[in-house]
Amino acid sequence: MKRPRLATLLTAAVLALLPTTAHADVTYPDPQPVTGQQIIHDPTVIRLNSGGYVAYSTGGIIGARTSKDRVQWDDAGNAFATPPSWWYDYSSTADPWAPDLSYRAGRYWLYYAVSSWGTNHSAIGVATSRTGLPGTWTDHGKAFSSETTDAWNAIDPALVRADGRLWMAFGSYWTGIRMVEVNPATGKAIPGATVAHLATRPDAPYAVEGAYVLKHGGYYYLFASYDACCAGVNSTYRIRVGRSTSVTGPYADSTGKPMLEGGGDLVLASHGRFIGPGGESISQDKGKDVLTYHYYDANDSGTPKLGLNTLGWTRTGWPIAL
C-alpha cells in the first residue's frame, strides 16, 4: 500500500480537530489509483488466504475481478458459470445484484440479491467456496426473501458478527435499511427472527440502501448509500454513516440525529470527475480498513468504476476517507 500523500495527512489532521458535526465542510479525497479492468458496480473485495485479492460485483452472473496488489485488476469472468435455476423466480433475466463477500469457519461466504427494478419481490442468496475464486462456488439457495406485502426489500446484503451471533443488514427503498439474525451453520436467516429497522429517510421514496456494518472500538458503524444510483453522471449517490453500541441500533450521526430520521454523517460525495460514490463495502487489509465503492466517471461518459480509499478515524471515533 502506498503511503498517503502529504495533503491527505494534513486533511486527516485537521478533521481530527474538528467538532463532531455532520456538516463539516471538507474536501473529499480521490480514489486510490487502479489499473486494468476498472469497470465495476456494487463491489465487494477481500484479500484471499492464498494471496492476492478478489472482487465481485453486480453485472452478469456476479462479475469477478482478481488482483495481486489491489492496484492492477484483471477480469476473471463470473462467480458462477450458469445462474442457479431459482434466480428466475425473482428476475426474468437472472441478474444478481450487490454481492457481499466474507470469510468464516474455513469458508468464503458470498451473499447476493436477485430482484427486478421497482419491486420488492426479492431474494438474497448464499453460496460458499473453499478458495473464494470464481468458478468454485456452491450455491445454497435463498437466505432471506421479501414479497410485495412486506415493508422491506431483500436486496443489498451485508454480514456482520456481533457478540457471538451473526447478522445480516439489507434493504433499499421500502423504508430503508433492515437487519435480521442469521444461523451461522446454514448462513440463512433464522425463521421467524425479528426484522430490526436501522435507517430510513423522512419522505418517500426513502432513498437509502447499500448498507454495510463495521465494528470499530466500542461501536458498530452503519454505512449506507443515500439518494439515487445507476444514472451515470446524473447519479446522486453519497455515502453516510452513523454508529451505535448495539448492532441492531439505534444508530445516530455525530450530532445525535437518528438514522431512522434521515441522519448520517457524510463520508464521501461527488467531487470532480468522481460522481455518485456508493454501493460500498469495507474490508480489512494489512491492518487498515479499506472502503470499496463504485463511482461514475464524468470523464468517461459516466462509466461505473472501482473506488478504493483507506478509512481513517478521528480522535472522537468517526470514520474519514483518506
Segment 5-24, tens digit of pLDDT = 323 333 333 333 333 334 44
CA separation for the pair 249, 259 (Å, rounded): 9
Within a domain: 213: yes
For 87-207, list the strands marked E by DSSP: 96-104, 107-114, 122-129, 138-146, 158-162, 165-172, 176-182, 196-199
In a domain, 96, yes or no: yes
Q: How many CB atoms lie within 10 A of CB 9?
A: 13
242: in domain: yes
Report the relative pairing of strands 72-78 and 35-36 from DSSP bridges.
parallel
Here the CATH number for the domain that contains residue 300 is 2.115.10.20
Cell of 188: 440463512
Query: Computed from CA positions of residues 39, 42, 46, 48, in that sequence, does the dihedral angle turn out positive or negative?
Result: negative
Using 70 as the pLDDT threshold, list the residues of the chain that sit under it. Answer: 1-26
Overall residue count recorded for the chain in this entry = 322
How many domains are there within the chain? 1
Residue 118 included in any domain: yes
Examine residue 102 and state whether it is found in any structural domain, yes or no. yes
pLDDT at 177: 98
Question: 286, exposed or middle or buried, with CB in 10 Å at 0-12, 13-18, 19+?
Answer: exposed
Domain that holds residue 294: 6-321
What is the pTM (predicted TM-score) of this model? Answer: 0.91
Contact 31, 73 (CB under 8 A): no
The whole-number pLDDT of residue 26 equals: 61
Instruction: Give the pLDDT confidence score for residue 2 in this predicted structure.
Output: 32
The pLDDT of residue 60:
80
Residue 1 belongs to a domain: no
In whole angstroms, what is the distance from residue 102 CA to residue 157 CA? 11
Name the strands in the sheet holding 176-182, side by side, starting at the edge strand that comes first in the sequence: 158-162, 165-172, 176-182, 196-199
Residue 58 lies in a domain: yes
Instruction: Write out the catalytic residue numbers.
Output: 42, 209
Cβ atoms 238, 280 nearer than 8 A: no
Judged on CB neighbours under 10 Å (0-12, 13-18, 19+), 100 is buried
For residue 246, being part of any structural domain is answered with yes
Residue burial 195-232, b: 16+ Cβ < 10 Å; e: rest: bbbbbbbeeeebbbbbbbbbeeeebbbbbbbbbbbbeb
